[in-house]
């Protein structure tokens, strides 16, 4: 199998299987409520249409667990894609089998056929050889453009590459790889990583990997409280993962040894529970969080400190909100940091599902250099893990 980039391939008249990430939210009326992911695939699809390829698109949607469940059908996605491309998109209703083969055979240059949800077949998540072989039947070129699914060893991501003559990366996947490589391989010296979010355990591999590369690591969100505990602060009822206090201590020590600035919140917005109407209390700089309260956002002095620390960055990577930004009273930290990131002259990269919602909520998404389309995949990439969907393209 050869690995070449999409722009170097001659695709005219070829049957090209494009694995896209059309895992979009649908409402009860089966309408697409957010088409960001469909739009993200357009550069690759438009290119293939213009070059006269015969295009087969495939994706998963939700977790139908190997069964055909109509509420997870990709049919509404075919309609939206058709509107966005301003051309007909045929819909197969199946993923493999004689009907799909006959539709494949009828494709003319520039035609697009969208297959049904890949996860209607249990073979998809099982990385099943037989299913992959069927998907690859009569395919000349395989293109992976589904970054958001590339951390999964699934049939349409990994196994299929064993049965196609050529496998390469689409434009979206390539863009994700280029930007995330910047964060993990030879980043500039003034490199600041902002980490927050719910669980410190989710983010430990990212910190461990980036500890070698970043100049500053600024921590917020619930995960900060495990670090604060490691430093001997009382954090009241804040979310703490006790099993990770020792790991946090170790990370703090390593950062000191390597002369990396690892900063924790110095003040907090606290409340007795995570609710919109609850009374909030500001916990002043350096003070512990009272016994019955939870730290739910970074405080004003922390915001100021972090914004200051972001100023000289050439590269900023951000994953994880600074507080419970879904609730107005605990959103200021995340919103202010979002604005600071957006206004920075640095190259800015944001990954993580909730972080992307936060930057959208702040209304500054268009000022960010790169917003990753893959939550789990971007975290694994930043952790330095090899992603099956990327590795199988380079296993020539
Ligand atoms: P991402 O999806 O960007 O990787 P995470 O899933 O790790 O981010 O974390 C997002 C969640 O973390 C949000 O739902 C937010 O409410 C929650 N969160 C942030 N700070 C706190 C906090 N101090 N206490 C409890 N939950 C928090
Ligand atoms: Mg999340």
Instruction: Write out pLDDT tens, residues 9-25.
Output: 899 999 999 999 999 99
Measure the CA–CA gap between 393 and 388, rounded to whole angstroms.
9
Output the CA 325–ligand 1 centroid distance in Å. 8
Answer with the residue of higher pLDDT: 155 or 6. Answer: 155
Q: Domain spans of the chain?
A: 2-172, 179-382
- Whether 152 is a known active-site residue: answer no
- Whether 376 is a known active-site residue: answer yes
Output the CA 313–ligand 1 centroid distance in Å. 24
pLDDT for residue 4:
67
User: Of 66, 353, 375, 384, which residue is the catalytic one?
Assistant: 353
Output the CA 181–ligand 1 centroid distance in Å. 25
For residue 353 and ligand 1, the question of a CB distance below 6 A is answered with yes
Ligand 1, atom 17: nearest CA belongs to which residue? 198
- Whether 353 is a known active-site residue: answer yes
pLDDT for residue 212:
84
Tens of pLDDT, residue by residue over 23-71, are: 999 999 999 999 989 999 999 999 999 999 999 999 999 999 999 999 9
| Host H or E run for residue 143 | strand 141-144
pLDDT for residue 396:
36
Q: Does domain 179-382 have CATH number 3.40.50.1260?
A: yes
> In which order are the strands placed within the sheet that holds 370-371?
261-263, 216-219, 191-195, 315-319, 347-351, 370-371
For residue 265 and ligand 1, the question of a CB distance below 6 A is answered with no
Tens of pLDDT, residue by residue over 315-336, are: 999 999 999 999 999 999 999 9
- Tell me if 2-172 shares its fold with 179-382: yes
Ligand 1: atom nearest CA of 355 is 3
Pocket probe mutation, ligand 1, options 195, 196, 197, max atoms within 8 Å of Cβ: 197
Ligand 1, atom 14: nearest CA belongs to which residue? 324
pLDDT band at 394 (very low <50, low <70, confident <90, very high): low
Mean pLDDT of 363-386: 93
- Whether 299 is a known active-site residue: answer no
Question: What count of other Cβ atoms lies within 10 Å of the Cβ of residue 12?
Answer: 12
pLDDT for residue 2:
54
Ligand 1, atom 25: nearest CA belongs to which residue? 222
Record the pTM. Answer: 0.91
Question: What count of other Cβ atoms lies within 10 Å of the Cβ of residue 345?
Answer: 9
Q: How many CA atoms lie within 13 A of 188 on its CB side?
A: 13
> pLDDT exceeding 90 applies to what percent of the chain?
94
Pocket probe mutation, ligand 1, options 324, 350, 365, max atoms within 8 Å of Cβ: 324
User: Of 37, 119, 152, 229, which residue is the catalytic one?
Assistant: 37
Tens of pLDDT, residue by residue over 337-359, are: 999 999 999 999 999 889 999 99
- Check residue 389 and report its DSSP letter: H
Question: What count of other Cβ atoms lies within 10 Å of the Cβ of residue 29?
Answer: 7
pLDDT for residue 328:
96
For residue 323 and ligand 1, the question of a CB distance below 6 A is answered with yes
CATH topology of domain 2-172: Rossmann fold (3.40.50)
For residue 350 and ligand 1, the question of a CB distance below 6 A is answered with no
pLDDT band at 120 (very low <50, low <70, confident <90, very high): very high
Measure the CA–CA gap between 382 and 349, rounded to whole angstroms.
11
For residue 222 and ligand 1, the question of a CB distance below 6 A is answered with yes
């Amino acid at each position: 199998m050869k690995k070449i980039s999409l722009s170097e391939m001659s695709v005219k008249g070829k049957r090209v299987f494009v694995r896209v990430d059309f895992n979009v939210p649908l409402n009860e009326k089966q309408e697409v409520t957010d088409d960001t992911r469909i739009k993200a695939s357009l550069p690759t699809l438009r290119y293939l249409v213009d070059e006269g390829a015969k295009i087969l698109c495939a994706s998963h949607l939700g977790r139908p667990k190997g069964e055909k469940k109509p509420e997870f059908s990709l049919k509404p996605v075919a309609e939206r894609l058709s509107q966005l491309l301003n051309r007909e998109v045929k819909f197969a209703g199946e993923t493999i089998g004689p009907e799909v083969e006959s539709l494949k055979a009828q494709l003319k240059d520039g035609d697009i056929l969208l297959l049904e949800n890949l996860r209607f077949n249990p073979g998809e998540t099982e990385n099943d050889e037989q299913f992959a072989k069927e998907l690859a039947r009569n395919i000349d070129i395989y293109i992976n453009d589904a970054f958001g699914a590339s951390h999964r060893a699934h049939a349409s991501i990994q196994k299929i590459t064993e049965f196609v003559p050529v496998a390469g990366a689409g434009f979206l996947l390539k863009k994700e790889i280029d930007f995330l490589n910047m964060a993990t391989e030879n980043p500039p010296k003034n490199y600041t990583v902002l980490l927050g979010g719910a669980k410190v355990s989710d983010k430990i591999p990212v910190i461990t990997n980036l500890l070698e590369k970043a100049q500053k690591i600024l921590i917020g969100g619930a995960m900060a409280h495990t670090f604060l505990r490691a430093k001997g602060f009382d954090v009241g009822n804040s979310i703490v993962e006790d099993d990770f206090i020792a790991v946090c201590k170790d990370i703090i020590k390593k950062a000191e040894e390597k002369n990396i600035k690892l900063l924790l919140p110095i003040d907090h917005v606290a409340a007795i529970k995570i609710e919109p109407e609850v009374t909030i209390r500001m916990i002043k700089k350096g003070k512990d969080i009272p016994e019955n309260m939870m730290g739910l956002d970074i405080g004003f002095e922390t915001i100021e400190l972090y914004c200051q620390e972001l100023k000289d960055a050439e590269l900023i990577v951000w994953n994880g909100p600074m507080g419970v930004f879904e609730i107005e009273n605990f959103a200021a930290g995340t919103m202010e940091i979002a604005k600071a990131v957006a206004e920075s002259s640095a190259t800015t990269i944001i990954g993580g599902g909730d972080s992307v919602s936060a930057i959208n909520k702040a209304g500054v998404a268009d000022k960010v250099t790169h917003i990753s389309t893959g939550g789990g995949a971007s975290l694994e990439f930043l952790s330095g893990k090899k992603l099956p969907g990327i590795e199988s393209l380079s296993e020539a």
